[in-house]
Amino acid sequence: MTEDIYLETYLFVSLTEYRICLYDTKNNKNLYNECLKREENLSNIDLSVLIKFLDNNIFKIEKLVGKFIKNIFLILETDKIYKHSFGIKKKNYDNYINKKFLEKIIVDAKDFYRENNNNYKILHILINKYIVDGNQYSVFEDGIRGDNLSLEIEFLSISNNFVFEVDKILKRYQIKIIRYLDGNYIKNFFQNDNTELPAMVHKIHNGINNNEVKLVNKNLKKLGFFEKFFQFFS
């Protein structure tokens, strides 16, 4: 059996299906993949059906790996995920706009969003535009000259009430959701790509999108801000 460090469990929840996968990140393959198709035209995620689905599959995965599942990634495709976009601008008093200056703006934007949307959990923070003195960039260029930096930032979030209900379900199995992700965002990022969904999730989580700010837990060791992608503490 592949070492546990390379195994990740993904739970996909949408209006049309529930799917659970055990993904081998080292060898890029599914070790377990079970799907429950649902009736069409449903308007809500039925949590009671989700419980039955998990009852039928959690034990099978644990038997396969020979130990309990402790953590899981939850990928949602639902209109309950809200998109909020706004712009933020900051004056630069140095000769160059560097990564530290960019980080300050992102933290300010995050704090502003949370102050005005404290009933929502942030899933993703995406930077859609960088504008330096009226010039637009698709990715950040460290050390560019400019007096002002503006960002167009998009927040993808979900209500804390929904998070509470789903967390409560997974606690029945002593499983912790280590990250919520937006399935539609992931699929759109890999549009026209033949990558399978579990591989998409793994790549998004590990920073393939250079314009996504990655939220990490406060108790984790702080990583370099721009090792491969944005990092700061939530």
Say how many C-beta atoms besides its own lie within 10 A of residue 85's C-beta.
11
Assess contact for 90 and 149: CB atoms under 8 A.
yes
Predicted confidence at residue 234, as pLDDT, reads 33
Model confidence pLDDT, tens digit, residues 76-133: 998 889 999 999 999 988 878 988 899 999 999 999 999 999 999 999 999 999 999 9
Q: How far is CA 138 from CA 107, 128, 225, 227, in A?
A: 20, 7, 19, 18
Model confidence pLDDT, tens digit, residues 118-156: 999 999 999 999 999 999 998 898 888 999 999 999 999
CA angle 135, 140, 141 (to 5 degrees): 80
What pTM, to 2 d.p., does this model score? 0.87
Q: 228 vs 160, which has greater pLDDT?
A: 160
Model confidence pLDDT, tens digit, residues 165-200: 999 999 999 999 999 999 999 999 999 888 899 999
